[in-house]
Every structure is written in C-alpha cells, then in structure tokens.
Amino acid sequence: MQQTLAEALDILKQQHLKITKQRRALLEYLLAHQDHYHEVTLVDDHMRQLFPGMSHNTIYRNLKEFEDAGMVEQRVQGGQGEVKYQCDFAHIHHHHFICENCGRVQELETCPMDSFQAQLPGCKIDTHRFEIYGLCAACNRKLAKQPS
C-alpha cells in the first residue's frame, strides 16, 4: 500500500514530533522509494546534499524517531544499515520477499512462526524476522526472455 506525505505528517503530529523542512524532505525521499530498502549512508548523503549543514547525528536520530513511531523499518544487510518506509500500517508485524535483482520489497501476508513454535516445544520465542529472497515476477520474466 502506497502511503502519502499527508499520512506521514499526521503520524508525526500524533507522535508530537515537530514537522521541520528536514523531516518533511526525509519523508518525501522515503515515500518516493518505499518499495525498496535503501542504505542509510545513501539516505544520509541525499539529506546532506539538500541540507549541507545537517549533521549525521540529526539524520540518524530522525530515522530512529521514525522507527520508534512505526513509520520506517530498519535492518542490517551485509553489515550495512538499511531503511525503508513502513509498507503496511494495518499490519506492523509482517515479513518480506526481497528481489535479489532489482531490490523490490513485497509484503508477505502470513507469518510462518506457528510452524516453528511447534518445532520448539518448551521454548519461548521473543522476536523474529523473516525474509525470503529470490527474483520478483518482473525480473523472472525478463530473465526467462533472455537468450541462453
């Protein structure tokens, strides 16, 4: 589901976070790329190009505040921090399929934890993260059309 800037600004207001031009620009960037994870360093570079005086700490603090507000998802991939705008506010707990070719992220509708819990009798699972990697339908079609 594609979110809008107005919805994002409403969340900032609900969280009692001031709407600054920097936060607005950060949200616009994340919203424009909400179907992909982006390296935090690239987000930082983009923001520092727009606002040369903006510190790294301010950018990272804003991303953390957005995460705490449930607006962004963060992960570490290959030792690199990555961030994307939350894809589904109705289902904060969800998982992803990530295309290894184009990087597109698709939300998975079900959680596989029930089957894992059954395999771990007596254990208490505190948290989990589940991602599936492969080729999205569009990339798979493109690859299938390429001559061998």
| pTM, to two decimals | 0.69
- Per domain, the residue ranges of the chain are 5-85, 95-145
Q: What angle do CA 5, 63, 26 make, to 5 degrees?
A: 40
Residue 99, marked binder = yes
Residue 136, marked binder = yes
- Amino acid 17: pLDDT: 92
Residue 111, marked binder = no
Q: What is the pLDDT of residues 21-69, one digit of tens each?
A: 999 999 999 998 888 889 999 999 999 999 999 999 999 999 999 988 8
Residue-by-residue DSSP string for 49-89: HHSTT--HHHHHHHHHHHHHTTSEEEEEETTEEEEEE-S-T
Residue 46, marked binder = no
Are 26 and 8 in contact by the 8 Å Cβ rule? The answer is no
- Window from 14-18, 59-63, 128-132 with minimum mean pLDDT: 128-132
What lies within 8 Å, CB to CB, of 29 at 6+ separation is: 43, 46, 47
Residue 93, marked binder = yes
CATH no. of 95-145: 3.30.1490.190
- The DSSP secondary-structure symbol of 89 reads T
- Amino acid 88: pLDDT: 57
- Amino acid 87: pLDDT: 62
Can 5-85 and 95-145 be said to share one CATH topology?
no
Residue 139, marked binder = yes
Average pLDDT value for the chain = 85
CATH no. of 5-85: 1.10.10.10
State yes or no: pLDDT of 1 exceeds 50: no
- Amino acid 39: pLDDT: 92
